[in-house]
């Protein structure tokens, strides 16, 4: 699907200048750090080895399935704690920012080998983000610490300093996380960055707190503090993997249930999948948060489930052309099915209200209504269907389709490559 009103525009996918700049900066920092470290040698090899092993374990246990905010929280915490490490058991450290990056990069590369072998990714973006965030933290701390700038910072003041530096590093990481997604999808950078910043409220505080506590504990009791403090975050990381696996199974269950209308011949093949993909893209364009996007996607997958209650199938499953009362009846039947399936009340509400008068609908229901009508009209109009369908939505009244949703749909169609209602 590559059409908008008035033109057929191919969706730009792949590299962009921002991503090239980020990867280039990461490569430059990595090469410089490795060169300097090889030239000067490793300072405090035992400390470097201990933190390197910690990062390696974190990377080996990195989750590579469903997208998460921080796939390797233990590796991130270990890398950041090494970047902000001043003392080891009361003895001042002598490693610099270049050594920090070199050790973390070597450990991350070794830990990424199994993921690369299994074809999991995106490893390159992950490594670039790790290198730049660690370099940022180390450059902010190590040179000043080496010159004694923090000698008078003791107790709570020193701890707050580390937390503040980690918070700044987390903000830097959010920018670096949003950039690859922006380049791959061409979604607006602002909403993506806001979503990443919202995501910092999840695993982010645990990573920052563990990194700060590790640096403080090693400064007092030495390297024995690392395995003790690593265990809770490692268990949290394993729990994250299980949670992601449960979410993947849950999503597969919803997708299978949504296909029931296709298997029964009530709707064309691929219709629910197309409506879900396009609805999620439109929702992101309109600034919905990730939990809202998940509800929207699930509701879009199951928006036609009420047709299973019909004795006579609607021709081609096209409910957008039915009388308003019939549309509402099918929507209410679908909501009842969703509620009994245990998918969730929020999803059921969107399914039930997709046929209500547009001004009375919540935003997710407006999106599903418009996208469903677009897919049905585009499929019925043949090769020129996308342009014709979009124009019909624009010419409809505000009681039928929300103008802001239709315009967001037009922007998405102009920018993204999504499953076509014509080709499936």
Give me the residue spans of the domains in the chain.
Answer: 11-246, 259-415
What's the rounded Cα separation, in Å, for the pair 73 and 207?
6
The reported pLDDT for the residue numbered 4 is 37
Q: Which of the four pLDDT bands, split at 50, 70 and 90, describes residue 416?
A: low
Write the pLDDT tens digit of every residue in 271-296.
888 888 899 988 888 888 778 888 88
How large is the average pLDDT for residues 336-364? 82
What's the rounded Cα separation, in Å, for the pair 241 and 87?
34
Q: Say which residue the tokens 């902010």 belong to.
A: 140
What's the rounded Cα separation, in Å, for the pair 328 and 312?
17
How large is the average pLDDT for residues 352-356? 84
Whether the predicted pLDDT of 269 surpasses 70: yes
The reported pLDDT for the residue numbered 338 is 81
The reported pLDDT for the residue numbered 182 is 74
Q: Which has more pLDDT, 208 or 418?
A: 208
> What is the number of other CB atoms lying within 10 angstroms of the CB of residue 333?
18
Whether the predicted pLDDT of 15 surpasses 70: no
What's the rounded Cα separation, in Å, for the pair 281 and 284?
5
Write the pLDDT tens digit of every residue in 365-399.
899 988 988 888 887 666 666 788 888 888 877 77
Looking at residue 3, the DSSP 8-state letter turns out to be E
Q: Tell whether omega for the bond before 119 is within 30 degrees of 0, i.e. cis.
A: no
Pairing assessment for the beta strands 3-4 and 91-92 based on DSSP bridges: unpaired
Q: Which has more pLDDT, 18 or 365?
A: 365
Q: Which has more pLDDT, 48 or 70?
A: 48
What's the rounded Cα separation, in Å, for the pair 41 and 38?
5
Whether the predicted pLDDT of 66 surpasses 70: no
The length of the chain, given as a count of residues: 424
* Average pLDDT taken over every residue of the chain: 80
The reported pLDDT for the residue numbered 63 is 67
The reported pLDDT for the residue numbered 208 is 82
Instruction: Kindly give the interhelix angle for 271-285 and 225-258, rounded to the nearest 10 degrees.
Output: 130
pTM here is 0.68
> Angle at CA 383, nearest 5°, toward 377 and 386?
45
Write the pLDDT tens digit of every residue in 286-329.
888 778 888 888 888 888 888 877 766 777 666 776 777 888 88
Instruction: Kindly give the interhelix angle for 385-395 and 403-415, rounded to the nearest 10 degrees.
Output: 160
Does the domain spanning 259-415 belong to CATH 2.60.120.200?
no
Q: Which has more pLDDT, 330 or 11?
A: 330
Structural contact between residues 327 and 304, judged by C-beta atoms closer than 8 angstroms: no
Q: Which of the four pLDDT bands, split at 50, 70 and 90, describes residue 401?
A: confident
Sign of the C-alpha dihedral, residues 205, 208, 214, 215?
negative
* The pair of three-digit structure tokens given for residue 200, joined into one six-digit string: 């910092």
What's the rounded Cα separation, in Å, for the pair 210 and 50?
16
Which residues fall within 8 angstroms of residue 360, CB to CB, at 6 or more apart? Answer: 353
């Amino acid at each position: 699907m590559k059409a908008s009103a008035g033109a057929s525009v191919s969706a730009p996918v792949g590299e962009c200048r921002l991503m090239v700049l980020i990867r280039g900066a990461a490569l430059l920092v990595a090469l410089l750090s490795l060169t300097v470290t090889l030239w000067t040698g490793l300072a405090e090899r035992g400390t470097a080895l201990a933190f390197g092993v910690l990062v390696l374990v974190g990377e080996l246990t990195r989750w590579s399935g469903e997208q998460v905010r921080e796939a390797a929280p233990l590796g991130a915490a270990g890398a950041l704690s090494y970047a902000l490490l001043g003392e080891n058991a009361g003895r001042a450290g002598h490693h610099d920012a270049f050594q920090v990056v070199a050790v973390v990069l070597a450990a991350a590369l070794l830990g990424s080998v199994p993921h690369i072998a299994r074809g999991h990714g995106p490893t390159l973006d992950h490594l670039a983000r790790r290198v730049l965030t660690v370099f940022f933290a180390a450059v902010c701390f190590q040179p000043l610490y080496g010159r004694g700038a923090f000698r008078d910072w003791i107790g709570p003041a020193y701890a707050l300093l580390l937390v503040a530096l980690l918070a700044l590093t987390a903000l830097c990481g959010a920018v670096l996380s949003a950039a690859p997604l922006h380049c791959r999808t061409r979604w607006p950078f602002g909403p993506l960055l806001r979503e990443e910043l919202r995501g910092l409220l999840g695993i982010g505080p645990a990573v920052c707190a563990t990194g700060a506590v590790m640096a403080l504990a090693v400064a007092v009791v030495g390297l024995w503090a690392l395995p003790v403090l690593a265990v809770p975050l490692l268990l949290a990381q394993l729990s994250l993997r299980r949670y992601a696996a449960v979410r993947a199974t849950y999503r597969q269950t919803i997708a299978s249930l949504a296909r029931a209308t296709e298997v029964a011949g009530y709707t064309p093949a691929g219709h629910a999948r197309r409506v879900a993909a396009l609805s999620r893209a439109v929702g992101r364009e309109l600034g919905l948060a990730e939990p809202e996007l998940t509800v929207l996607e699930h509701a879009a997958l199951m928006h036609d489930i009420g047709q299973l209650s019909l004795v006579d199938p609607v021709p081609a499953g096209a409910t957008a052309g039915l009388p308003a009362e019939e549309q509402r009846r099918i929507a209410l039947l679908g909501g009842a099915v969703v509620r009994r399936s245990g998918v969730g009340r929020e999803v059921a509400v969107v399914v039930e209200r997709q046929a209500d008068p547009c001004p009375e609908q919540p935003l997710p229901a407006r999106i599903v209504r418009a996208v469903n009508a677009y897919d049905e009209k585009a499929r019925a109009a043949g090769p020129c269907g996308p342009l014709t369908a979009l124009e019909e939505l624009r010419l409809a009244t505000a009681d039928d389709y929300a103008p802001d949703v239709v315009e967001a749909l037009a922007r998405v169609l102009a920018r993204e490559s999504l499953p076509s209602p014509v080709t499936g």
